[in-house]
Amino acid sequence: MPRLSDYQRALADAVRHGGEDRPVPPGLSVSGLALTRRVRHSWCMGRVRRAAPLTLAILTEDDREEIVAEWVARGGGTSSFFETEAEAFLTFVSRRLDRPSHASSLCRFERAVIRARGASTMRRLIRPASIDSMVQRSPHADLVELHAPVEQLLEALAKTRRWPAICEGSHRLLVAPGIAGLVRDASPVEIALWHAAERPVPAKDYWPAARSLVACGALETVAGVDGC
């Protein structure tokens, strides 16, 4: 008699990967297994749709269903860690979007908010920046360029106005876990610092903006590295 754990593994494998030529686990009918697969597939599709409502809303219905179905076929929609799967799904979606476009910028914005929101719930030790420290980008933050004011984009999503024209480089938002509401406009010096901080840079070159961005979690101090 097979062990319970072996039977559970066989059942899970049959539900996830079963085809017409795969054996049905003992005690389960072909029709019962087919129903279980349909229920699981529907559950996964719904879970993925809820993971990225902003980005999916801008796509056509056909594109939306195709992308969600492909992600589920790759094993998506099953993770218990919502933020992790949502971020991975949005990365997958972003590769299929034209650039520049409102869809690609909103996709990056939504992914950044999910990442920052997840980090904002964790108890993390933030090392305050000193003027002699080195700083670099935090993995929990992002600088997102929108191609129109965010208010206009949200109105277009709500279908209360037409989509605005693409406007390069005029609307940059800083997304970080320590910002109230997670999002605010980025100043010119913060934009310059963010681009420079892809690698460690001296905080003193951008003081006091460096101190502010470390405090809100957009940048991190680099342990064991001192400024010159």
How far is the C-alpha of 210 from the C-alpha of 201, rounded, in Å? 10
- pLDDT at residue 228, rounded to an integer: 43
Q: What is the per-residue DSSP string for 131-177?
A: TTEEEEE-TT-EEEEESS-HHHHHHHHTTSSPPPPP-TTSEEEEE-T
Q: What is the pTM of this model?
A: 0.79
Please identify which residue in the block is written with the tokens 């029709």. 31
- Do the Cβ atoms of 44 and 143 come closer than 8 Å? no
Helices (H), 18-125: 30-51, 53-58, 61-73, 82-94, 102-120
Q: Lowest-pLDDT range, 27-41, 61-75, 159-173, 193-207?
A: 27-41
Comparison of pLDDT for 48 and 31, the residue scoring more: 48
- pLDDT at residue 136, rounded to an integer: 97
Helix (H) or strand (E) holding 193: helix 188-196
Alpha-carbon torsion angle 52, 55, 58, 59, nearest 10: -80
Which residue segments constitute the domains of the chain, with CATH numbers given?
1-96 (no CATH), 127-228 (3.90.930)
| 46-104 confidence digits (pLDDT tens) | 889 888 999 999 999 999 999 999 998 888 887 767 888 899 999 999 999 998 899 99
- pLDDT at residue 16, rounded to an integer: 59
57's CB contacts (< 8 A; 6+ apart) are 157
SS3 assignment, position 185 = strand
Calculate ∠ Cα 141-55-73, nearest 5°.
Answer: 105
Span 108-114, average pLDDT: 96
SS3 assignment, position 72 = helix
DSSP 96: T
> In whole angstroms, what separates CA 219 from the centre of its chain?
18
